[in-house]
Amino acid sequence: MLSTGALRAHLLAARLAGPVATSREESLRSYRLFAARDPRLLIGLDPEWSWGHRDVVELMADKCGVSADPRCTSGHDVIDPERTLEALDAFAQRIKEVARHRGTVLLGTGHPHRLLDFYAAIADALSAAGCDVLTPAQGRCVDITTRFGLRTYNLDYVRGVALVRKPGPEGAGCEPGAHSHSPLPVRTVLAAAAESGGPLPELVIGDHGWVCGAGQLGFEAIGLADTDDPALFVGEAEGRVSVVVPLDDAVRSDYYRPLTRYVLNRACLSQ
pLDDT beyond 80 at 172? no
- Identify the pLDDT of residue 148: 74
Q: Which residues contact 170 (CB under 8 A, 6 or more apart)?
A: none
% of the chain exceeding 90 in pLDDT: 91
Taking phi over 0 as left and psi of -120 to 50 as alpha, with beta for the rest, 231 belongs to: alpha
In this predicted model, what pLDDT tens digit does every residue of 55-89 receive, in sequence order?
Answer: 999 999 999 999 999 889 999 999 999 999 999 99
- Identify the pLDDT of residue 174: 53
pLDDT at residue 271, as a whole number:
60
Contact 200, 184 (CB under 8 A): no
pLDDT in tens, 216-234: 999 999 999 999 999 999 9
The pLDDT, as a whole number, for residue 149 is 79
| pLDDT exceeds 90 at position 170 | no
Of the listed ranges 12-26, 32-46, 160-174, 236-250, the least confidently predicted one is 160-174
On whether the pTM is more than 0.85, the answer is: yes
Name the residue among 136, 110, 271 with its Cα closest to residue 205. Answer: 110
DSSP state of 116: H
231-260 average pLDDT score = 98
Tell whether 231 is covered by a domain.
yes
Q: Is residue 205 part of a domain?
A: yes
> Which long-range contacts does 262-265 make (Cβ < 8 Å, 24+ apart)?
262/2, 262/7, 262/88, 262/92, 263/88, 263/91, 263/92, 263/95, 263/122, 264/92, 264/121, 264/122, 264/125, 265/1, 265/2, 265/92
- For the chain, how many structural domains are there in total? 1
Most confident of 68-77, 96-105, 169-178: 96-105
Residue 239 pLDDT > 90, yes or no? yes
- Does residue 102 sit within a domain? yes
- Is residue 271 one of the residues assigned to a domain? no
User: Mean pLDDT, the chain, as a whole number?
Assistant: 95
Show the DSSP H helices in the chain as ranges: 4-13, 24-35, 39-42, 53-63, 81-100, 112-128, 168-172, 184-195, 208-216, 230-237, 257-266
- Which residues are CB-contacts of 210 (< 8 A; sequence separation ≥ 6)? 108, 109, 110, 162, 183, 185, 186, 204, 221, 223
Residue percentage of the chain with pLDDT more than 70: 97
pLDDT of amino acid 175 = 60
Domain containing residue 246 = 4-266
Q: What is residue 198's predicted lDDT score, i.e. its pLDDT?
A: 87
What local confidence, expressed as pLDDT, does residue 146 receive?
76
Q: Residue 168 pLDDT > 90, yes or no?
A: no
